[in-house]
Structure 1
Amino acid sequence: MTKRIYDMLAAAVAQESIGTCFSLLGDANMNFATRLREAGCEMIYVRHEHCAVAAAMAYARKTGDLGLATVTCGPGLTQLMTALPAAVRAHLPMVILAGEAPLKAGWYNQAIDQAPFIIATGAAYHALHWSARMATALRDAFIQARREQRPVVLGIPFDLQDLPWDECDLPQPSRELIPAMSPTPPHPDDVASAAARVASAKRIVVMAGLGALHAGTACRALSERVDGLLATSLPARGLFHDDPYSIGISGGFSSEMARKCLGEADLIIAVGCSLAKHNTDAGKLWPNAEVLQIDTNPLVISQGQVAAQSHLRADAQLGVSALLLALPERSENWRSPDLVRAIAETPADSADYPAEPGIHDPRDAVTALDAAIPQGWELVNSSGHCSYFFAQMPGRAQAQFLTIREFGAIGNGISFAMGVSRARPDTPVVLFDGDGSLLMHIQELETIQRHKMNILIIVFNDGAYGSEIYKLRSDGLSDAGAVFGRTDLAAVARGFGMGGSTITDLSAIPAMIAEFTQTGGAAVWDIPVSDQVASPVIRRAHPQR
């Protein structure tokens, strides 16, 4: 049988050694995708193109490798417009193979100028129209995605894919060409300047982001050396989960104790952080502090605000270690047993709300879930109003936590859970989501069931779009347009052939977890929660008028 260009494309992708590809087939990619599966790549066939890319995003974040997806041309590609900006802003390396309309056709009903759509998201787009260089161009896309840490989309006309392939040798895969770079060390003069700045501060918080995941031990030592506290960005939540001087998340999701301590700080040492508006709560979290940033790419301005006043350009581990060596011991003035007790015992949110019969306070539900879910299970926190509550599990390690929120979109949770499931196939995955978010892509329950993924979906069901109802109410407007009623999500799950339960009694959760541990598989747990308990994030941003 004559080999075709789609055979070559599949062979070139296969030698990049990406374990899983998320796909939805159409005319412009189905032959390639079929050959890629035959070449040994695990194919996860989703029911919506957005979900293919969103799942690949979580796969990339969780594996530390490149995410791979394929969709068809035209309407298949335009479905990616929500996922791609999030992937770009989260600095996730991805390659998406999309089709293009056939070049020989005078008219094709799915034809569209695809490049402007993709470029508008911040991703790169390359149209591969020369078959003789197609394998090299594909390899170069993998290099670009890895080097620039962003998605690269390839548009390949499907009539070109059907041309004969002469079975010439394929180019070297990208892994063999990208150099293994040594971590960037700090300059001694910069270390001395940073040490002088630290020496002049009295109350210091060492805050770590995703760029500091490999420097957790050094950050702990630095915090101890300077009599300081520890905090993280939301994506790095849990990096210091077992340290008594960790105040948790710095940002809009900060606990009451974290906000108090950050308000007292006069210096924030930000290690591997983007210092985005959410991370600083729009600059309100530390009104009395300056920022010393340790990063390979220090920022002056981040999202319209001054990011830092001092900088140490270095790899997180090398920079923190060098700074640690340059600092003398100091006596404890901030750290104390009383502070440890306050951190441990102060609730994340102490606001009082009246009990409602048959409806749970989301804070109580999170406490019950946190106590029952085994350590080591993978946790995926979606987006939306409920995500604040799900983030308040202080005893959970960062290694088992994932959230990607850089574009502010809901509806991604189920896709992220699928991506994590394929990155960690031997570990149960728990998705925390809201009813509004889950219902945006509820069709992927079928994908989860068909591919036998071990995913437990826990839904806070307030029968509404949570953020919107509180915002409308705070403005004195009707919330009717954002209230839909509590869909019986457990029944929906059972309709897809998986487990489904509505939790009316939180004390039942430990036994349910024990049973799920034994059975595995997939299930949806529908927890009706109050639509009156607003998160502190909402209360601060939209106080009642």
Structure 2
Amino acid sequence: MDNDSDDSEAIDSFELNEQLSNACLPITIPTAEAPLDLADLLLQYLASLDIDFVFGIPGGAIEPLYNALARNRCHGTSHIPKAIIARHETGAVFMADGYACRTGKLGVCCATTGPGSTNLITGVASAYANKIPMLIITAQTPLTSFGKGAFQESSCTGINTVAMFEHCTRYNTLISHPEQFERKLAAALMTAFASPSGPVHLSIPLDIFRSPTPLNRERFDIRTLLNKPSLMDNVALDELMLELTPDKNIVFVIGEGASEAIGSILATAHLLGATLLTTPHGKGLISAYHPKFKGIIGFAGHQSAVDCLHDQSLDTIVCIGTVLSEWACTRELLLNSKVIHIDEQEANFIHTTMAKIHVRGRILTVFDRLYKALVQQYELPLPSSYVLDPTQRFFTLDDEAAFLDCKKPITPPRLMHDLTELFPPDTRYLADTGASFAWAIHYLHPFDRRMQGDRDARGGLFRACLEFASMGWAIGCAVGVALAEPNQPVVCITGDGSMLMSGQELTVAVQHKLPIIFVILNDSSLGMVKQGQKLNHAGAIGTALPYVDFAAFAASMGAASYRIESTEDMHLLPIRQICQSQGPTLLDVYIDIDAVAPISARIKQLSNG
């Protein structure tokens, strides 16, 4: 089982490269006589927002930014971000995504001109679809070279990268004069955190990046500009208070937008006696062992959740922080006149035009006020925490018997069970696109001890990249999450297809000694596609992958690795050592190739398309 190799030489070489990359460069420090250039000014803005990292890959045209990063860090400038070098630009965006979601800060990534910029686009599109606040910095050849066929030219007269980013960013512009820089940067940062939030893009020519800061520059207090008030529709809130009473049969459907407010939402649900469901996006915000939690609705969801919405006595469905997209919505059950939709993103209401109430506003503010009003109006006792039983769930899995199955090779449901049984309760899980996130959404249920008594609870222990659903997302995202919380275990569940696509990012975790556990569902195929073809009675084609020994693959990169074929192999793992290690561990899990993921809803949607 153990394929843990001697990786000292590999790690030493990484440390040497790190020392070289951080070496002080012989560059003049900005003074009154040698003012800040625009790259230094950009870093000052990022420092003012307490940004810890810039993710990307260096190159000739983006060199002024990396020069500024090097010299400012060398000379001890306050809170200058550290450069994290990805192996592919899309991986850099996925890392920034993980960092942004874990910290609530801005994700920042950069790339050089031409293919460096175009390599970002898949990651940026994913961030756009999932509303991740992110600043994208790309380079251009010097303005004077536009239209001259310069090396990797990507201006409006070459491969127009600004035009390419137009439809996957919230703000997108080329900076053609130094005087534009500060205003456009401020506009971009404000837009990244606006509603809806998302990635913003600044394309900066090499000569502009090197330009000194204009003497009569515009200055912006960006922290003040980003300090948004907690706006709320008070009229709709009054209507909501009339609708939500303890004598009604109420279901809360909770999406990813509820993350900030989950503590107040659970406390309010307890006062109302509401049943709790989540969308796949909101999975992990509620303990799977909460006695009012009846499972997940939508993709890879649970029959018990569907049964709740079929209940003829149901009075009200409260959808909270969810776009109710194809992934999250069982249309005939959710899109009806029983729905109340609470969200701070106006765009999400276009999917619930039939709702009896739309409550616009910051979700945390809405539920704080609703909670206080319920306590006062009905003189309800303040909620206390339930006693959780890690052996008792209150929703139905497709196949409970699969948890008890110890056959070899291991089944994915059993693997999901073993992961949550073996790893610490505070472990964070990321599931990649494909069969990986189908198995994880349905069967992976960490024993999260947080309950409704904790009104200050934030976030969850699980994330998947739905909507744009980019393969390899979880691999890069795990790096960003681990950098944000380096002392907390992070488990990345991914498939062999995604690993072959983006597995090089494993070396970033090695380089920065991040204790990420990469779990590879190895079935030598593109599993979700293969299963979809079979379920849809389509031709079997294009899904076979060659046998790959991923344990050896990881060992060659300097990571610890183990081959897993059974639940016995899982229970022999040195979990404490793995979680406390100075570097990643890869589990090469040979799963049952005949096991079919819970993707029937997705197949039905494809058939009806």
| TM-score normalized with structure 2 length | 0.79
**Equivalent in 247, 258, 281 of residue 294 of structure 2:** 247
Give the corresponding residue for 1:32.
Answer: 65
Q: What per-residue deviation string (whole Å, max 9, x for no partner) do you get for residues 77-100 of structure 1?
A: 111221112211222211111101
State how far apart, in whole Å, the 1-side matches of 2:274 and 2:213 are: 63
Distance 1:288 1:403, change over 3 A: same
Give the corresponding residue for 1:429.
Answer: 490
Give the corresponding residue for 1:230.
Answer: 276
Deviates more, 1:197-206 or 1:427-436: 197-206
2:408 aligned with 1:358? yes
Give the corresponding residue for 1:61.
Answer: 101
2:359 aligned with 1:312? yes
Offset of 1:213 from its aligned partner? 2.9
Query: Which structure is richer in relative contact order (CA contacts within 8 A, separation 6 or more)?
Result: 2
State how far apart, in whole Å, the 2-side matches of 1:194 and 1:59 are: 35
**Equivalent in 118, 123, 126 of residue 173 of structure 2:** 126
Q: Are the equivalent residues in 2 in contact too, given 1:251–1:285 (CA < 8 A)? A: no
**Equivalent in 342, 348, 355 of residue 397 of structure 2:** 348
2:430 aligned with 1:388? no
Give the corresponding residue for 1:79.
Answer: 119
Q: Are the equivalent residues in 2 in contact too, given 1:125–1:152 (CA < 8 A)? A: yes
Structure 1: 5+ residue stretches without partners = 332-336
2:129 aligned with 1:89? yes
Correspondence 1:76-475 to 2 at 5 A: 76-105=116-145, 106-111=148-153, 112-148=159-195, 149-163=197-211, 171-181=219-229, 183-187=230-234, 189-198=235-244, 202-241=248-287, 242-264=289-311, 265-281=314-330, 283-286=331-334, 290-297=338-345, 302=350, 306=353, 308-323=355-370, 325=373, 344=393, 347-350=396-399, 358-391=408-441, 392-397=443-448, 398-475=459-536
Report the residue type matching 1:151 in the other structure.
P
| Corresponding pairs, count | 534
Structure 2: 5+ residue stretches without partners = 1-27, 29-33, 73-79, 154-158, 381-385, 449-458
State how far apart, in whole Å, the 2-side matches of 1:540 and 1:96 are: 32
State how far apart, in whole Å, the 1-side matches of 2:286 and 2:508 are: 35
State how far apart, in whole Å, the 2-side matches of 1:237 and 1:244 are: 16
Distance 1:366 1:289, change over 3 A: farther
State how far apart, in whole Å, the 2-side matches of 1:53 and 1:260 are: 39
State how far apart, in whole Å, the 1-side matches of 2:302 and 2:370 are: 29
Q: What per-residue deviation string (whole Å, max 9, x for no partner) do you get for residues 73-127 of structure 1?
A: 1111111221112211222211111101222122213122122100122442111
Q: Are the equivalent residues in 1 in contact too, given 2:428–2:490 (CA < 8 A)? A: yes
State how far apart, in whole Å, the 1-side matches of 2:46 and 2:233 are: 38
Q: CA RMSD in A?
A: 3.3
Q: Are the equivalent residues in 2 in contact too, given 1:201–1:266 (CA < 8 A)? A: no
| TM-score normalized with structure 1 length | 0.88
State how far apart, in whole Å, the 1-side matches of 2:363 and 2:233 are: 10
State how far apart, in whole Å, the 1-side matches of 2:335 and 2:226 are: 43
Q: Are the equivalent residues in 2 in contact too, given 1:298–1:311 (CA < 8 A)? A: no
2:592 aligned with 1:530? yes
Offset of 1:66 from its aligned partner? 0.5
Distance 1:502 1:139, change over 3 A: same
Report the residue type matching 2:296 in the other structure.
I
Distance 1:31 1:190, change over 3 A: closer
Q: Are the equivalent residues in 2 in contact too, given 1:271–1:294 (CA < 8 A)? A: yes
Give the corresponding residue for 2:56.
Answer: 23
Offset of 1:269 from its aligned partner? 0.9
Q: Are the equivalent residues in 2 in contact too, given 1:266–1:289 (CA < 8 A)? A: no
Q: Are the equivalent residues in 2 in contact too, given 1:128–1:134 (CA < 8 A)? A: yes
Give the corresponding residue for 2:383.
Answer: none
Give the corresponding residue for 2:555.
Answer: 494
Secondary structure of the corresponding residue to residue 327 of structure 2:
helix
Q: Percent of counterpart pairs with the same letter? A: 24
Offset of 1:262 from its aligned partner? 2.7
Q: Are the equivalent residues in 2 in contact too, given 1:128–1:156 (CA < 8 A)? A: yes
State how far apart, in whole Å, the 2-side matches of 1:113 and 1:37 are: 30
State how far apart, in whole Å, the 2-side matches of 1:210 and 1:94 are: 17
Secondary structure of the corresponding residue to residue 425 of structure 1:
coil
Q: What per-residue deviation string (whole Å, max 9, x for no partner) do you get for residues 461-494 of structure 1?
A: 1211111111212343442411114421111001
Q: Are the equivalent residues in 2 in contact too, given 1:14–1:36 (CA < 8 A)? A: no
State how far apart, in whole Å, the 2-side matches of 1:295 and 1:481 are: 41
Deviates more, 1:358-367 or 1:194-203: 194-203
State how far apart, in whole Å, the 2-side matches of 1:124 and 1:248 are: 37
Report the residue type matching 2:445 in the other structure.
P
Q: Are the equivalent residues in 2 in contact too, given 1:58–1:420 (CA < 8 A)? A: yes
Deviates more, 1:133-142 or 1:360-369: 133-142
Q: Are the equivalent residues in 1 in contact too, given 2:536–2:603 (CA < 8 A)? A: no
Deviates more, 1:46-55 or 1:356-365: 356-365
Deviates more, 1:164-173 or 1:255-264: 164-173
State how far apart, in whole Å, the 2-side matches of 1:131 and 1:299 are: 35
